Copies of this chain bind each other. A is one copy, B any other.
């Protein structure tokens, strides 16, 4: 793998405190793969042979049942995904596809489990990471069950706005159809939700969104730290 990516991976909470030798062992066994957009990397139900780490690009995690499909999460660098399946040696619960040209580091789950048993610092880091992932999904479930579609969109915009510096504008990180699925609605309904937010100073120019009345939007959205704060 490219040498200037290694420090980035090493800096991940998951790897930052483990013994150098164990880190090298993991990287030795790892593959850095490049993918074009719209490539399906993992399929739900398949065995989790690798832990995946986003190095560059974007991956959409999605799930299907009956004839339906929905987006579960959007993963951007630098972070891992499907850690739980890799640890449990269980089948994926979600599928994953690139939405952009991407580079992904793949570490065989077996090596993860092996080093996990050897390296206490790594084991602790995995626990912290898993606990964080767990809490993220709980927040997603609360978001879905406790809010209307418009509220979910409003809070999403506020969250991205804050992430991107809070300058009064933001860029949607994915296509609107994907965003719609992530927020639990149809693309048509997302368009209408944006229209509903127009009186609250939300201006849409393609993927570029301007927030002219953040305070008003916040009144509508009623953000909660226990759903929207990335930390906590």
Contact surface of A with B, Cβ cutoff 8 Å? 44-45, 63-66, 68-70, 72, 83-85, 87-88, 90-91, 93-94, 116-117, 120, 123-124, 126-128, 130-135, 137-142, 144-147, 151, 184, 222, 224-227, 232
Contacts and interface: CB of A to CB of B under 8 A. Distances in A.
Contact of A138 (B72, B130, B147): B72
Contacts of A88: 128, 131-132, 135
A142 B232 contact: no
Name A's interface SS. Answer: helix
A117 B45 CA distance: 34
Contact of A141 (B64, B126, B133, B141): B141
Contacts of A124: 116-117, 123
Nearest to A68: B146
Contacts of A69: 146
What number of copies of this chain does the assembly contain?
A: 2
B184 A145 contact: yes
Contact of A120 (B85, B120, B138): B120
Contacts of A227: 65
24 contacts: A44-B226, A45-B226, A63-B142, A64-B146, A65-B224, A65-B226, A66-B146, A69-B146, A70-B142, A84-B138, A90-B131, A90-B232, A91-B226, A94-B138, A117-B124, A120-B120, A123-B123, A127-B130, A130-B131, A130-B134, A133-B134, A137-B138, A140-B141, A144-B144
A151 B63 CA distance: 17
Contacts of A146: 63-66, 68-70
B139 A93 contact: yes
